[in-house]
Amino acid sequence: MGPETLEAKQKAAIEEILKAYPQKAAKNREKHLGVGSPNDENQKTCGDVRSNKKTVPGVMSQRGCAYAGSKGVVWGPVKDMIHISHGPIGCGQYSRAGRRNYYIGVTGVDTFVTMNFSTDFQENNIVFGGDKKLGIAIDEINNLFPLNNGITVQSECPIGLIGDDIGAVAKVKAKELDKTIVPVNCEGFRGVSQSLGHHIANDTVRDYVFDAKVNVNTSDVETTEYDVAIIGDYNIGGDAWSSRILLEEMGLRVVA
Ligand code: SF4
């Protein structure tokens, strides 16, 4: 099959998909679909296909909010830290265990991926602020789970609206507890979709985790010439679970 034929077939497939939509939705979705080719200049700059646009509820492109992008995608797989959903319980519950993460350890002891931590805001916290509650939650968590390697504070929408200073609380607590405490201002309304949450969270990894003191002892790990670390696998459908098996069948050892 020549490349022209393939392109024509791909274009026809897009037309077929668009036919399934109501007229208004099809007009909107049309801008998000296109056939790429190595010679297409637009593809190199994402100039042709529309992205980073506001999510439309009920339309296939629907994604999470900035908070979901930070908590679920970037910080979610960081298993030895505890991630507090700061604000009302709904956001934390909504994002709970939504990601498939590949982790080892004992849940609740040295790994916390599937647990749901929330400051559970009530009306009075919205009126009078929740900084105090956040400080108490951090203390409580640190007492109950002493093997945590740090705590992140994932801001939900109301935090940004009422102006709680999570950065100040994190700074005080980090000093008091001698721990890595990361304030993440990833309120859902900040971006058009979860993608801004990814950027915000990645910035906090750079600013708070690199060079931070962590209790990981790697000196007793014996390395081999066949070790590989997979970086940046989104594992959206559990695909990392399969790629690990393939790499191991090739004779490689997936260490991270
Ligand atoms: S948009 Fe705001 S309120 Fe909704 S889940 Fe995200 S952080 Fe929570």
Q: Quote the pLDDT of residue 235.
A: 75
Q: Quote the pLDDT of residue 23.
A: 93
Q: Quote the pLDDT of residue 151.
A: 97
Residue 77 sits at φ, ψ, to 5 deg, of -75, -5
Does residue 198 have an active-site annotation?
Answer: yes
**Residue identifier of the C-alpha nearest atom 8 of ligand 1:** 91
pLDDT confidence of 30, banded at 50, 70, 90?
A: confident
- What integer is the mean pLDDT of 169-198? 92
Q: Quote the pLDDT of residue 183.
A: 98
Quick one: three-class SS letters along the chain? Answer: CCHHHHHHHHHHHHHHHHHCCCHHHHHHHHCCCCCCCCCCHHHHCCCCCCCCCCCCCCCCCCCCCHHHHHHHHHHCCCCCCEEEEECCHHHHHHCCCCCCCCCCCCECCCECCCCCEECCCCHHHHHHCCHHHHHHHHHHHHHHCCCCCCEEEEECHHHHHHCCCHHHHHHHHHHHHCCCEEEECCCHHHCCCCHHHHHHHHHHHHHHHCCCCCCCCCCCCCCCCCEECCCCCCCCCCHHHHHHHHHHHCCCEECC
- What integer is the mean pLDDT of 134-152? 97
Rounded to the nearest 10 degrees, the angle between the axes of helix 23-30 and helix 3-19 is 150
pLDDT confidence of 73, banded at 50, 70, 90?
A: confident
Q: Quote the pLDDT of residue 134.
A: 97
pLDDT beyond 80 at 219:
no
Q: Quote the pLDDT of residue 111.
A: 94
Does residue 68 have an active-site annotation?
Answer: yes
Q: Is 94 in the pocket of ligand 1 (CB under 6 A)?
A: yes
The answer to whether 69 touches 197, Cβ cutoff 8 Å, is: yes
- What integer is the mean pLDDT of 162-171? 96
Q: Quote the pLDDT of residue 255.
A: 85
**How far does residue 112's CA lie from ligand 1's centre (Å)?**
22
Q: Quote the pLDDT of residue 218.
A: 64
Does residue 229 have an active-site annotation?
Answer: no
pLDDT confidence of 38, banded at 50, 70, 90?
A: low
Query: Of the ranges 19-23, 111-115, 151-155, 235-239, which one carries the lowest mean pLDDT score?
Result: 235-239
- CA–CA dist 216, 83 (Å, integer): 18
pLDDT beyond 70 at 155:
yes
Fold classified for 66-209: Rossmann fold (3.40.50)
Q: Is 65 in the pocket of ligand 1 (CB under 6 A)?
A: yes
- What integer is the mean pLDDT of 242-254? 93
Interval 80-109: pLDDT, tens: 999 999 999 999 988 887 677 778 899 999
Q: Is 188 in the pocket of ligand 1 (CB under 6 A)?
A: yes
Place of tokens 């490689």: 252
- CA–CA dist 131, 121 (Å, integer): 11
CA 112 to chain centre: 15
Tokens of residue 187, six digits: 């309120």
Q: What is the mean pLDDT of the chain?
A: 85
- What integer is the mean pLDDT of 157-184? 96
Q: Quote the pLDDT of residue 230.
A: 82
**How far does residue 54's CA lie from ligand 1's centre (Å)?**
14
Locate CATH 3.40.50.1980 in the chain: 66-209
